[in-house]
């Protein structure tokens, strides 16, 4: 995970996010059918939003850094899950690009520190992931591993299986092949 400079929100969000949010709130207050609220809620998937995220993240997953746009469309990920934080559904600061695997692994999972309620996940657009994560190249095994420097880093490594201990061995193998670690 590397720091990402997000840039400004795409015009479609700048022009419509507040209105879309108001529509969503109104529909939920009216207890409208999920099909109706779902249509409004999915507006964050606009092609301008996706294009801006692909550009900001250089086509890589916010969490595992896999190059995703060559083999899949990738997902617009809500750092704060939209199911639990509907007020952030259209917030540019809440949107990330994620590979299908990381997006599925995270889902609505959003661990919080029990003591102060802060997120235990790392948002690469809001903070430097290197504060929480350490990359380690082992010249003997020729493997690049990621370790949590603190509880937040450990949570990220475990949730997204960044070292392949829960099956994502291909991720670690690809990362180990990067020339930047050699």
Q: Which residues of 70-86 are buried (b: 16+ CB within 10 A; e: fewer)?
A: eeeebbbbbbbbbeeeb
Residue 160, pLDDT score = 94
Partners of 144 in beta bridges: 137
Cβ atoms 155, 148 nearer than 8 A: yes
User: pTM value?
Assistant: 0.87
pLDDT of res. 178 = 57
At 182 the pLDDT is 46
Q: What is the pLDDT of residue 179?
A: 42
Query: Whose CA is closest to 155, among 128, 176, 129?
Result: 129
Render each residue's pLDDT in the chain as its tens digit; 182 residues: 889 998 999 999 999 999 999 989 898 889 888 888 888 888 888 899 999 999 999 999 999 988 887 677 889 999 999 989 989 999 999 999 999 999 999 989 999 999 999 999 999 999 999 999 998 877 887 777 889 999 999 999 999 999 888 777 787 777 766 544 44
Structure tokens, 160: 């997204």
For residue 149, what pLDDT is reported?
96
Q: Name 93's Cβ contacts closer than 8 Å, sequence gap at least 6.
A: 6, 125, 126
What pLDDT score does 181 carry?
46
């Amino acid at each position: 995970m590397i720091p990402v400079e997000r840039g400004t929100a795409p015009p479609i969000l700048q022009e419509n996010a507040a209105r879309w949010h108001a529509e969503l709130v109104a529909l939920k207050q009216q207890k409208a059918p999920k099909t109706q609220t779902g249509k409004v809620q999915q507006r964050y998937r606009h092609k301008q939003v996706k294009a801006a995220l692909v550009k900001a993240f250089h086509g890589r997953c916010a969490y595992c850094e896999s190059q995703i746009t060559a083999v899949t469309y990738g997902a617009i990920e809500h750092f704060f899950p939209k199911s639990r934080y509907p007020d952030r559904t259209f917030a540019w600061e809440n949107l990330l690009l994620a590979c299908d695997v990381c997006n599925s692994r995270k889902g609505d999972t959003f661990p919080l520190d029990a003591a102060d309620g802060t997120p235990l996940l790392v948002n690469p657009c809001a903070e430097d992931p290197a504060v929480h994560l350490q990359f380690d190249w082992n010249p003997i095994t020729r493997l690049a591993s990621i370790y949590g420097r603190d509880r937040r880093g450990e949570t990220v490594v475990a949730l997204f299986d960044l070292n392949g201990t829960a099956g994502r061995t291909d991720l670690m193998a690809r990362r180990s092949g990067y020339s930047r670690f050699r």
